[in-house]
Structure 1
């Protein structure tokens, strides 16, 4: 199957394509999942809406994205993903325009439903499913390169969006970001990905909606990815507050948090070390580093910088594993379906995490919150060990190094 795929497409995306795909992911994540971090405060100040409702709008968008993820997978497996990925920028842009024009809470929430649709169409899961369908095992290097570049999303987007808000106000900043998405996402995807019309007919025919992956393995993967996503979301929402509760000033907490983006470099180095082996070993490193980093934060908060270095490297590997581990376990024609189905529980978990994490923090305090995250991280390490024991013995997955 891999050799047949090589005849229809280049063996792997070129370097320029990988760079463009990484950049377009930065724009897409920055205009959807991460924009609320800098948008919420000015929205609350101007409108008087409660902070819970404003942040709840993001949860609503993530929930919609999770519910639609299996549908995105089916579309990619049948028709290819380039057109859907390219259209995602227009859908997100439409949502941002409505956000900028919202003077009623119901319209603001409706806008985030539309942004959630765009997220299902254009973020990691849809892109990885498209690459896996197009290139099979040869997509592994591309996925790693894309996550390396897009790992700097918050480092670039948060200051840039904050600057737009300072210059234009939050409403016009949303309109400006919408214009950026509308003008850049479509051409970048169409230039970077091959025409899906040339996908082998056998690939489309076998995409029937049922995967050959064993149910036990499937649900193990779902549990691993869901726990990892929940931990990532909780840290994204609560890290500054947790560090301040540990005695750090706001400036120091922000400085420690800024290290998370550059830690993607370390995760790339780890993945290079294991690129010829099964991605299960990268998964061990990912969950192990996350658990070690959180345990260090709980036990030795004065070493927060080191703990976030460890956590950041593990979390960077999480994005890589999310694409490469299923790729090594299923056939290319089934990959989009499996990724789409696995995305639903992870995204639903992300959607409810801010509410649950806020409840635990308010009712039990910061220490209990940290220890709860440590427990979830350790459980995830055990689940990966169980997955390793359950995996059938087979040869190493095909990668670009075998070309």
Structure 2
């Protein structure tokens, strides 16, 4: 059964709200929040990193539940918990309240961001979930484009606390009803057999011997962890990286702003290609992973505004498709059987590196400058690319 356009649109909007009110919140709120609470802004990011670690720990449990019962209860609960965490953040009076609020937000993220939404779609649509996954990430690509300026405007019009309360209300009044209406309850889902991760897919096709499945799983772990580090590092430091490379502030900010449109354009291209030509997700993932290193080469060799723009565009396009690949590759390689649990396990390493990347990349930029920052992200992208070439899909005979 394929997803309807209303469902894709509804979940895309709900995911935009979820991402804008969680992952993309700290970057705007950190300074005013820290100033009012009289703490260092690094503590705000430390609390955010803890929320990502909590999200990683809970991922497999959330995925297993969705495999068995569908995604409606989980996604609706995510909106409630995100709202509670945002209210708590808006009422925080010190470090304890700050960390407690971000812990709640971390639980909400585990229950309601892409991994959970993808698992819900696969639980409902099986192998036909690739198209709605791509459609939802296409809409979700606007989360930073909408979230950052809207949050900044709310802070300017009121304060950071009113921004938290606004996003809490948006989760309750917009995202929650959309999940309830467009994600089917468990009783309305067709039955699917669940089993061990990497077992025989529900389509009846075996994807190589068990050692091949283990190899593919480990390769996906390496791919996900390496690319998540690069994604998180660039999200936190791309303007700073361009500034350290010697570009003026206006050029650095302008180039960094190209990432969002490039992500959306690449996801749209992937959606069209997958629909028209039924492209292989593994080939698409390999193409996506090579774009960041190409952008790094362009920045180093060309330099100036042109090099910065090329870097931002190629990184954005690659990152946009990598987000889709993290959802579609496990489905392509292993089928819909226990997809949620598999995604939860894969997400553990991704969230760990995502949480560590902003701090570690900041140290790297401070000690080694732009060259070593680019070299590190270049190397990790190539590691992710190498992992993808280790993978063998079901259409290929097992190697002797």
CA deviation after TM superposition for structure 1 residue 267, in Å:
3.1
* Between 11-20 and 317-326, the greater mean CA deviation after superposition: 11-20
Q: In structure 2, how many angstroms separate the alpha carbons of the residues matched to 1:90 and 1:298?
A: 46
User: 2:281 aligned to 279, 282, 288, which one?
Assistant: 279
2:367 is equivalent to residue 363 of structure 1: yes
2:209 is equivalent to residue 219 of structure 1: no
Give per-residue Cα distances to partners, 1:19-71, cap 9 Å, x unaligned. 11111111100110111111011112222211221111111111110110001
- Determine if contact 1:88/1:118 at 8 Å carries over to the other structure: yes
Partner residue of 1:186?
Answer: 176
Partner residue of 1:28?
Answer: 18
Q: In structure 2, how many angstroms separate the alpha carbons of the residues matched to 1:188 and 1:135?
A: 18
Q: 2:259 is paired with a residue of what secondary structure? A: coil
- Determine if contact 2:133/2:324 at 8 Å carries over to the other structure: yes
Q: In structure 2, how many angstroms separate the alpha carbons of the residues matched to 1:16 and 1:294?
A: 39
Q: 2:260 is paired with a residue of what secondary structure? A: coil
CA deviation after TM superposition for structure 1 residue 106, in Å:
1.5
2:340 is equivalent to residue 336 of structure 1: yes
Give per-residue Cα distances to partners, 1:316-338, cap 9 Å, x unaligned. 00111111111111232321111
5+ long unaligned stretches in structure 2: 200-209
User: 1:58 aligned to 26, 45, 48, which one?
Assistant: 48
TM-score calculated relative to the size of structure 1: 0.90
* Between 267-276 and 127-136, the greater mean CA deviation after superposition: 267-276
TM-score calculated relative to the size of structure 2: 0.91
- Determine if contact 2:195/2:337 at 8 Å carries over to the other structure: no
Alignment of 1:226-265 (within 5 A): 226-263=225-262, 264-265=264-265
* Between 309-318 and 190-199, the greater mean CA deviation after superposition: 190-199
Partner residue of 1:399?
Answer: none
Aligned residues: 380
Partner residue of 1:79?
Answer: 69
- Determine if contact 1:88/1:121 at 8 Å carries over to the other structure: yes
Alignment of 1:3-402 (within 5 A): 11-201=1-191, 203=192, 206-212=193-199, 214-263=213-262, 264-275=264-275, 276-302=278-304, 303-387=307-391, 390-393=392-395
Q: 1:134 is paired with a residue of what secondary structure? A: helix
- Determine if contact 1:274/1:282 at 8 Å carries over to the other structure: no
CA deviation after TM superposition for structure 1 residue 340, in Å:
1.2
Give per-residue Cα distances to partners, 1:292-351, cap 9 Å, x unaligned. 122222333321112211111111001111111111112323211111111111011111
Q: In structure 1, how many angstroms separate the alpha carbons of the residues matched to 2:331 and 2:36?
A: 46
Stretches of 4+ aligned residues off by more than 6 angstroms = none
Tell me how large the CA RMSD over aligned residues is.
1.6
5+ long unaligned stretches in structure 1: 1-10, 396-403
Partner residue of 2:202?
Answer: none
Q: 1:393 is paired with a residue of what secondary structure? A: coil
- Determine if contact 1:96/1:111 at 8 Å carries over to the other structure: yes
- Determine if contact 2:137/2:267 at 8 Å carries over to the other structure: no
Q: In structure 1, how many angstroms separate the alpha carbons of the residues matched to 2:75 and 2:42?
A: 31
- Determine if contact 2:135/2:271 at 8 Å carries over to the other structure: no
Q: In structure 1, how many angstroms separate the alpha carbons of the residues matched to 2:88 and 2:196?
A: 34
Q: In structure 1, how many angstroms separate the alpha carbons of the residues matched to 2:98 and 2:250?
A: 31
Q: In structure 1, how many angstroms separate the alpha carbons of the residues matched to 2:357 and 2:59?
A: 18
Q: 1:53 is paired with a residue of what secondary structure? A: helix
Q: In structure 1, how many angstroms separate the alpha carbons of the residues matched to 2:53 and 2:119?
A: 19
CA deviation after TM superposition for structure 1 residue 274, in Å:
4.1
- Determine if contact 2:241/2:365 at 8 Å carries over to the other structure: no
Q: In structure 1, how many angstroms separate the alpha carbons of the residues matched to 2:337 and 2:383?
A: 32
